[in-house]
């Protein structure tokens, strides 16, 4: 019953927001100098696997401010599949025409297919229970290097899972900006 209420509340909020925007708003948004970037990469943290994601930027002066979404699918010691989703923001500062420094921050959620124990960044053992939704936050930095129209981006993240401690993650992404 609560799932139905939750879905109906989300749909109601969506339609109220959609109704509050006039066509003039849409025309103004159309004229903004938005940029987008899509990437695919390798991830290692609570397992190893693949990630894919997208960013939408709004250039402001010498910075780019944006939103990002990233999905990662990893395997922990050949026994558990981990599916995680990150939603957050990003701030980018171009250092040279081909090199950009990025800051990342936001929320994360993940779920495992099997129980497993991992050691967090403080050295404490943490137990992950299968089919449980874990929530937390993340922050990190990446460096984008543009070569031949493709961005190579190593990224380091620190993930803080609520009641489960922090763990670090390293991603190596290949991306394309539009």
Three-class HEC string of 84-114: EEEEEEEEEEEEECCEEEEEEEEEEEEEECC
The span from the CA of 132 to the CA of 136, in Å, is 13
Average pLDDT over residues 110-117: 89
Does one domain contain both 123 and 58? Answer: yes
pLDDT of res. 175: 86
Number of structural domains found in the chain: 2
Average pLDDT over residues 90-109: 93
pTM for the whole structure: 0.75
Does one domain contain both 87 and 111? Answer: yes
**Residue 86's pLDDT band (cuts 50, 70, 90):** very high
Does one domain contain both 98 and 172? Answer: yes
Does one domain contain both 88 and 13? Answer: no
Does one domain contain both 24 and 45? Answer: no
Average pLDDT over residues 16-21: 56
Is 70 exceeded by the pLDDT of residue 115?
yes
Q: Provide the residue range defining the domain that includes 15.
A: 1-31
Question: How far does Cα 87 stand from its chain's mean position?
Answer: 5
pLDDT of res. 87: 93
Does one domain contain both 146 and 69? Answer: yes
Does one domain contain both 133 and 68? Answer: yes
- Token representation of residue 87: 């939603």
pLDDT of res. 140: 95
CB 75 within 8 A of CB 48: yes
Does one domain contain both 48 and 112? Answer: yes
């Amino acid at each position: 019953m609560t799932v139905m209420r939750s879905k109906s509340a989300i749909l109601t909020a969506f339609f109220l927001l959609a109704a509050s925007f006039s066509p003039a708003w849409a025309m103004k948004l159309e004229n903004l100098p938005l940029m987008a970037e899509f990437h695919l990469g390798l991830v290692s943290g609570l397992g190893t696997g693949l990630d894919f994601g997208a960013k939408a930027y709004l250039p402001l002066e010498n910075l780019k401010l944006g939103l990002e979404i990233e999905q990662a699918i990893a395997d922990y010691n050949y026994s558990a599949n981990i599916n995680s989703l990150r939603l957050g923001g990003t701030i980018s500062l171009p250092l040279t025409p081909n090199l950009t420094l990025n800051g990342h921050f936001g929320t994360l959620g993940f779920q495992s297919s099997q129980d497993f124990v991992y050691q967090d960044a403080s050295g404490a053992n943490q137990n992950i229970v299968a089919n449980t939704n874990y929530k937390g936050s993340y922050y990190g930095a990446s460096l984008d290097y543009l070569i031949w129209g493709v961005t190579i981006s190593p990224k380091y993240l620190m993930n803080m899972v609520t009641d489960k401690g922090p763990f670090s993650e390293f991603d190596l992404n290949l991306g394309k900006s539009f």
